[in-house]
Amino acid sequence: MTISPHGGILKDLIARDAPIKAQLEESAKTLPSLELTERQLCDLELLSNGGFSPLEGFMTKEDYSSVVNSDRLANGLVWTIPVCLDTNLDHLKKIFNTNENNEILGKKLVLVDPRNGSNLAIIKIKDLYSVDKEEEAIKVFGTKSTHHPAVDYLFNQTGDIYIGGDIQIINPVSHEDFQEIRFTPAQVREKFEKDGFERVVAFQTRNPMHRAHHELTLRAGEKVNAKILVHPVVGMTKPGDVDYITRVKVYKIIMEYYKPNTAFLSLLPLAMRMAGPKEAVWHAIIRKNYGASHIIVGRDHAGPGKDIDGKDFYGPYEAQEFIEQYEDELEIKPVRFSMLAYLPDENRYEEIDKLEKGAKTLNISGTELRNMLKTGEDIPEWFSYPHVVSVLKSEYAKLQKAQA
């Protein structure tokens, strides 16, 4: 375990279990196995590398119930999103060749990477429990509407039983792409210490970055006198989002516009839940584990968009208000911003909440941008950098060709 320069303990399970790797590999040969889903694979990676500290495994019923009902783990620490290993009971009984739940408790199960069959971890089953999914939806996401992507996932893809228990890591989750910017929390902290990044403000994003996003990070850094951690999500995001490979190409270009030794890019293998206010707190905890002292919380942070009636699931600044009640406990400070709009007459960006009444502004929505890419319309330089636009146009053309 490593002490964070900004407080807290980093529970790096990969490092903890490395000395017994051979023993765990040998043990795994005799154990039944479970292939993980895409979300579970993301969750396991952040459990194993310390991104989900203080968790050391998938939640037991006690922790799950406490999180859903009080936004805290059973030990009282703030935690707002359930991290659970779901499966179907019939499948689990088949794996263990039993019809009795109590014969499964206390047994061990190997967690397998579905992409390559690699044994990743061993979980000792402490708990098997079913949940009220409607209650989870309402208390965590604030809605039962399946127009919310996480609620749709909960109702239509999540298994009927949750497995709780601590894990031991055999092999870390591996990736073939962008290895040069995939860093664990311990590696990011080491980088900050080496480069003298004493105060760091993290920027969460699941979209391509344009000029307004770059400006937002610069303002946040100046506001709290901090370096910048550009920390985009490359795990599961909202269906229909720009694919992470295209986005990473954009992030690498954006990094060229920061002054030397002022910003750092690292990819985050998080499976987002799009839970708005509760996700904002979760994002803060994760970024604290990566060594950040501050996190940008913007307008509609981690919001999933609109419901069936065209109304946003969460208020524009609900996340900022929600995180405020936990600020003293999180060991990381939120930096609040409203959306930036472009002032053409002044050739600058400004927060919409600070604009004078009637001010002339320009903005391009995500939908408008997609239509401009589709039609080949020129995208103005005030909105994005030419190299970024070039990448987006190229990748969009490939997508259109593949779908033709």
Q: Which amino acid is at 120?
A: L
Q: Which fold has domain 179-403?
A: Rossmann fold (3.40.50)
Q: Rounded mean pLDDT of the chain?
A: 94
According to the model, what pLDDT value does residue 404 have? 67
pLDDT confidence tier of residue 13, bands split at 50, 70 and 90? very high
Residue 55 has pLDDT above 60, yes or no: yes
Three-state secondary structure call for residue 334: strand
User: Mean pLDDT lowest for which of 1-5, 36-40, 271-275, 384-388?
Assistant: 1-5
pLDDT tens-digit readout, 206-215: 999 999 999 9
Residue 300 has pLDDT above 70, yes or no: yes
Give CA 325 to chain center in angstroms.
21
Contacts of 212 by beta carbon, 8 Å cutoff, 6+ apart: 339, 340, 341, 342, 349, 383
| Fold agreement (13-169, 179-403) | no
**Beta-sheet pairing, 200-205 with 294-297:** parallel
Q: What is the homologous superfamily of the domain 13-169 according to CATH?
A: Sulfate adenylyltransferase (3.10.400.10)
According to the model, what pLDDT value does residue 376 have? 86
Query: Quick check: is 205 catalytic?
Result: yes
Query: Quick check: is 370 catalytic?
Result: no
Is 109 in contact with 32 (CB distance < 8 Å)? yes
* Unique residue bearing structure tokens 């803060």: 284
39, 189, 206, 336: the active-site residue: 206
pLDDT tens-digit readout, 129-160: 999 999 999 999 999 999 999 999 999 999 99
pLDDT confidence tier of residue 397, bands split at 50, 70 and 90? confident
Is 162 in contact with 130 (CB distance < 8 Å)? yes
Bridge partners (DSSP) of residue 111 are: 34, 121
207, 246, 262, 361: the active-site residue: 207
According to the model, what pLDDT value does residue 7 have? 42
Is 145 in contact with 308 (CB distance < 8 Å)? yes
Higher-confidence residue of 293 and 373: namely 293
Query: Quick check: is 375 catalytic?
Result: no
Domain ranges of the chain: 13-169, 179-403
Q: Is the peptide bond before 54 cis (omega within 30 degrees of 0)?
A: yes
pLDDT confidence tier of residue 240, bands split at 50, 70 and 90? confident
80, 119, 158, 205: the active-site residue: 205
According to the model, what pLDDT value does residue 365 have? 83
Reported pTM: 0.95
According to the model, what pLDDT value does residue 60 have? 98
Give CA 307 to chain center in angstroms.
22
Residue 373 has pLDDT above 90, yes or no: no
According to the model, what pLDDT value does residue 8 have? 57
pLDDT confidence tier of residue 65, bands split at 50, 70 and 90? very high
pLDDT confidence tier of residue 3, bands split at 50, 70 and 90? very low
Residue 189 has pLDDT above 70, yes or no: yes
pLDDT tens-digit readout, 93-135: 999 999 888 899 999 999 999 999 999 999 999 999 999 999 9
